[in-house]
Amino acid sequence: MSILLSLHHRFPDMELSIDCTLEGGLTAIFGPSGAGKTSVLRAVAGLLHPDQGRLQIGERLLLDTGAGISVATADRRIGYVFQEPRLFPHMTVAANLRYGEARAKGHALPLGFDPLVALLGLGDLLKRRPATLSGGEGQRVALGRALLSAPDLLLMDEPLSALDTRRKAELLPYFERLRDQVGVPILYVSHDVSEVARLADTVILMEKGQMRAIGPAADVFAGGETGDQISRDVAGAILHVIVAGYDERDGLTEARIGQHPIWVPGRVGAVGDRLRLRLDARDVMLMRELPQGISALNVLPATVLGIAAGPGSGALVRLDHQGQALVARVTKRSVRALGLKPGLALHAIVKSMSVTQERVGTG
Ligand SMILES: Nc1ncnc2c1ncn2[C@@H]1O[C@H](COP(=O)(O)OP(=O)(O)OP(=O)(O)O)[C@@H](O)[C@H]1O
């Protein structure tokens, strides 16, 4: 189901502008604080009335300022999950979920009550009251309630930002399952690169109210065509790999892109599972000759696609590894010393230990 979104709004100290068409899946709106991410969600939900805008979800036209159309929030069939669960404190978890279901008003649910309770692991919580839930449990209930209202689109605004690292890690697999098993498109706001790299199919990069880039997550984090769209702190690759085995002796998971192995610390997934790995551009080293006697386990043949030199001492080198984007952040001095230029074949070295747990996701 396509989502057509066009918003233009002038705040006293910022101009918001976004135009895009989305084709389902999970789209992350990513950018620093104040970029305008939440304002986009608010406009989509009908809580902010833009100066100019158009929103169409599938066949349903929800907003067209030119034609004077703006469907009321309650009738948009859009679910909203916030930083905190916002559950009804006097109701049990089951009653909170049933409240969501009642709002579906007969529209087909993406998943029935019981399968959704199972997917979100809510079975043991149904009789509890919100005050007794942990932050992560509360967010799962909030998600369930939103999905049971049969939304055409789910909005999630920094749903992990109020949680500590452990709770975030517990919740992320549920979000992955939701993305992969429930067909509801999701607009997901976050300023956290590890979260976005792990979850997003598509990334909208926002800065100062403007849409700076849009595309598949791997392309946007690699810096796009010109390599200068992404800030150096978040540039990196998202590699899609398949689990090939586990080395018991060394405690390493073998993943593969085609026939090429990539070793990841710990046991992750089962043989045949699809994983996505985030490689920070600063953790990738480049060598022209096949290296001998080095500790890094992952030596990936790659071809230089482009080089974007920043204003400082660094440069972002975009590479192709078997059809997937890799990106290395190196010094301009190394670019010169290695004679890096588009088309050059070389080796990208990635330390296994740099692929930490939070950089490994599914799907
Ligand atoms: N109701 C409002 N009135 C005036 N200006 C607003 C309003 N809402 C948003 N803005 C302007 O838009 C900017 C971006 O706000 P928004 O909350 O959308 O950003 P964000 O990217 O979600 O940031 P954060 O992660 O900090 O919430 C604000 O700094 C402000 O300039």
- The answer to whether 3-221 and 236-362 have equal CATH topology is no
Q: What is the pLDDT of residues 295-320, one digit of tens each?
A: 778 999 999 999 998 788 999 999 99
Cα 50 to middle of ligand 1, angstroms: 13
Q: ipTM of the assembly? A: 0.90
Q: What is the pLDDT of residues 13-57, one digit of tens each?
A: 999 999 999 999 999 999 999 999 999 999 999 999 999 999 999
Q: pLDDT confidence of 233, banded at 50, 70, 90?
A: confident
Cβ pair 45, 73 in contact under 8 A: yes
Q: Which residues have CB under 6 Å of ligand 1?
A: 11-14, 31, 33-39, 191
The CA distance from 334 to 314, in Å, is 9
Atom number, ligand 1, closest to the C-alpha of residue 41: 18
Residue 293 scores a pLDDT above 90: no
CATH architecture of 3-221: 3-Layer(aba) Sandwich (3.40)
Region 338-347: mean pLDDT is 97
Q: What is the pLDDT of residues 144-203, one digit of tens each?
A: 999 999 999 999 999 999 999 999 999 999 999 999 999 899 999 999 999 999 999 999
Cα 231 to middle of ligand 1, angstroms: 21
Mutate to test the pocket of ligand 1, among 39, 80, 160, 195 (most ligand atoms within 8 A of CB): 39
Q: Identify the residue with better confidence: 226 or 52.
A: 52
Write the secondary structure of 100-127 as one string of H (helix), E (strand) and C (coil).
Answer: HHHCCCCCCCCCCHHHHHHHCCCHHHCC
Q: What is the pLDDT of residues 203-219, one digit of tens each?
A: 999 999 999 999 999 99
Cα 36 to middle of ligand 1, angstroms: 5
Q: Report which protein residue has its CA nearest ligand 1's atom 3.
A: 11
Residue 4 scores a pLDDT above 80: yes
Atom number, ligand 1, closest to the C-alpha of residue 158: 25
Cα 54 to middle of ligand 1, angstroms: 20
Q: Report which protein residue has its CA nearest ligand 1's atom 17.
A: 38
The CA distance from 29 to 152, in Å, is 18
What ranges do the domains of the chain cover? 3-221, 236-362
Residue 250 scores a pLDDT above 70: yes
Neighbouring CB atoms inside 10 A of 46's CB total 18
Highest average pLDDT, of 41-45, 102-106, 256-260, comes from: 41-45
Q: Report which protein residue has its CA nearest ligand 1's atom 16.
A: 36
What are the CA-CA distances from residue 70 to residues 55, 82, 104, 322 (Å)? 9, 23, 20, 47
The CA distance from 232 to 234, in Å, is 6
Q: What angle do CA 178, 181, 184 make, to 5 degrees?
A: 65
Which residues does 306 contact at the CB level (< 8 Å), separation at least 6?
225, 226, 227, 317, 318, 342
Q: Report which protein residue has its CA nearest ligand 1's atom 6.
A: 11
Region 141-145: mean pLDDT is 96
Residue 227 scores a pLDDT above 70: no
Cα 4 to middle of ligand 1, angstroms: 22
pLDDT at residue number 228? 64
Q: What percentage of the chain exceeds 70 in pLDDT?
A: 99
Task: Name the token pair of 120.
Answer: 């979100």
Atom number, ligand 1, closest to the C-alpha of residue 36: 18
CATH topology of domain 236-362: OB fold (Dihydrolipoamide Acetyltransferase, E2P) (2.40.50)
Q: Report which protein residue has its CA nearest ligand 1's atom 12.
A: 36
pTM: 0.92
Q: What percentage of the chain exceeds 90 in pLDDT?
A: 84
